[in-house]
Structure 1
Amino acid sequence: MEIVNGAARPRLAPHVRMVFNAARGEYALLSPETILAINPTGAAIVELCDAKRTVAEIEAELRRRYDQVADGDVQRFVSALVTKHGMEVDHG
Structure 2
Amino acid sequence: MTALVRHGVRVSELCADGDRFLQHGNLGKATSLYMSAFKTHANSTVSHMRKLERSSLGKVISTLEGWLDSHGDNQSVEITNKEWRAWLRGNFCPLHSSA
Q: Normalising to structure 2: TM-score of the pair?
A: 0.34
Larger relative contact order (C-alpha < 8 A, sep ≥ 6)?
Answer: 1
Q: Which has the higher strand share?
A: 1
Q: Which has the higher helix share?
A: 2
